[in-house]
Amino acid sequence: LVYISSDSQNAVGKPLPLWLGLRVERFIPGAMLPLLLTSIAYLGDLLHQYLDGDIISDAKTFFAESCHAVWWRNYVVAPLAEEFVFRAAIIPILLHCLGPTKAIFLTPLFFGVAHIHHVIEQLHNGERHLTVCLGAAFRVLYTTLFGAYSAFLFLRTGHLFAPMLCHAFCNARGIPDLPSLPSHRYRFVLIPVYIVGAIAFFFLLFPLTDPIFMKSQFRTELGY
């Protein structure tokens, strides 16, 4: 990163903080619009929790636990450290060498594989090998998809805080409880809302992360 930040001869030289996504310009929209976009993707899940009557109690529990080290690890340290390593430190190098598309879809592979370590703990606890392997495969798939989304946000907003905030939000929400949908008493309301949230997310994915509006330092590399 120090090398490419000084590579002014090839017109790619940028100050090191810019490569890392550390900038003030358009900070508020760069942080809040991606969070809004991510919340839209969770629209069905949020309504699901509300209808189950858990959203208020869970919110109180969430903030009450902020005095514990595990809370800070899950919602502050992990998002900050992982986004810095897998987005800010890796993507600019791959972007410089491979271009934006490969950078977006290659870095999540490192991010996904980095979450396999849970297998060791599960096997040590005596869980069945098949269950552990299936869980690991799903975890790698889920984290890889999220990693691609985070990389997309990092490049298009030009802010490290955008994927970091969305990462913390997704850690707090977890995986939507889709298996309970078919038997839920409000399934005829929830299923359409899940679908609407997914469709709205894909329709708003590019407008809410417009690199020109965000004045992303990567907009030239993205072709804008």
Non-local (6+) Cβ contacts of 116 within 8 A are: 136, 139, 140
Q: What is the 3-state secondary structure (H, E, C) of 49-117?
A: HHHCCCHHHHHHHHHHHHHCHHHHHHHHHHHHHHHHHHHHHCHHHHHHHHCHHHHHHHHHHHHHHCCCC
**Count of CB atoms situated within 10 Å of the CB of 193:** 17
Query: Of 82, 83, 96, 167, which residue is the catalytic one?
Result: 82
Q: How far is C-alpha 67 from the chain's CA centre?
A: 24
Can you list the alpha helix ranges (DSSP code H) found in 114-179? 118-124, 129-157, 161-173
Burial of 213 (0-12, 13-18, 19+ CB in 10 A): middle
The conformational region for residue 23 under phi > 0 = left, psi -120 to 50 = alpha, else beta, is: beta
**Catalytic site includes residue 82:** yes
Q: Is the separation of the CB atoms in 186 and 106 below 8 Å?
A: no
Query: Of 25, 68, 83, 115, which residue is the catalytic one?
Result: 115
What is the set of active-site residues?
82, 115
